[in-house]
Amino acid sequence: MIAYPHIDPEIVRIGPLALRWYGLMYLLGFGASYLLVGKRISGSGGRVGGTAVPAEFLSSFYTWLILGLVIGARLGYVLFYDLMEYLRHPAEIFAVWHGGMSFHGGLIGAVAAGILCCRRFGVDPWRMADLVTATAPIGLGLGRLGNFINGELFGRVTDVPWAMVFPAGGPLPRHPSQLYEFLLEGVALFSLLWFLRDRMGRPGRSTALFLVLYGSFRIFVEFFRQPDPQLGFIAGPFTMGQLLSTAMIAAGVVLFVLRRNRRANRPV
């Protein structure tokens, strides 16, 4: 067994305001994505596909993306993970500081916001989706490190040599499933998507691959992760995260088939 490294979730506190590792991780993830996507667009002469984009497009796009992600993640958690409780206490829906965010809901919200922003600026949403999803695993991986520091979303009880006792998980050793997700949904997913970013043919196929790979990694890790206490197992040994990820994989496969390589790939 390995000792859990107790790290204060708060980096610094000034009065009622606190900078937390979890929030910083997501800021770093969005910042890295913004810089990498901006660099690729600049390297193509300020164009996305055949469209020249205005200077303010990228900052507007990421603002929309972050808002869509946060709203979608919160509503997704409410709908997918604890609907009856929030119906009894509707004011809690807005209490995001109490925790409760859904990746799958955040993905839906980010997609909707991204499409609306692309339409406003006349930019191909498929090409932007490919650019962003190639960098999204950076934020996903860093977010899992934030979960690990918070001691939340820990794994199931186990006797593997690298098991840890999490403060909120009782006295028994558990899988550090947050680190599994960091390695798969962060490091491995980014490495694969970045390597294949210009090798997928028609725009949209890289996004489809992201959906399939993330869904597959998430389903695998969920077998080691402790299910949400208010839900437990949904269908036999399967969790809500696995069911949502199965739908995600199906959507990715359909998208990959529909986005057939009908024309030569064009940079960015």
> Does residue 235 carry a pLDDT above 90?
no
Please write down the HEC assignment for all residues of 19-31: EEHHHHHHHHHHH
Confidence of residue 264 (pLDDT cuts 50, 70, 90): very low
Other Cβ atoms less than 10 A from the Cβ of 113: the count is 22
Decide: residue 70, CB within 10 A, 0-12 exposed, 13-18 middle, 19+ buried. Answer: middle
Residue 226 resides in a domain = yes
Give the pLDDT score at 24.
93
Residue 240 resides in a domain = yes
Q: For residue range 74-126, what is the model confidence (pLDDT) as tens digits? A: 999 898 888 888 888 888 888 776 677 888 999 999 999 999 999 999 999 99
Residue 224 resides in a domain = yes
**Residue 62 is encoded by which pair of tokens?**
């990421």
Residue 148 resides in a domain = yes
Residue 159 resides in a domain = yes
Q: Give the structural domain span for 193.
A: 1-7+125-268
Q: For residue range 9-22, what is the model confidence (pLDDT) as tens digits? A: 999 988 878 888 98
**Residue 110 is encoded by which pair of tokens?**
């980010």
Residue 229 resides in a domain = yes
Pairwise CA distance, residues 35 & 39, whole Å? 6
Question: What's the structural domain count of the chain?
Answer: 1
Residue 130 resides in a domain = yes
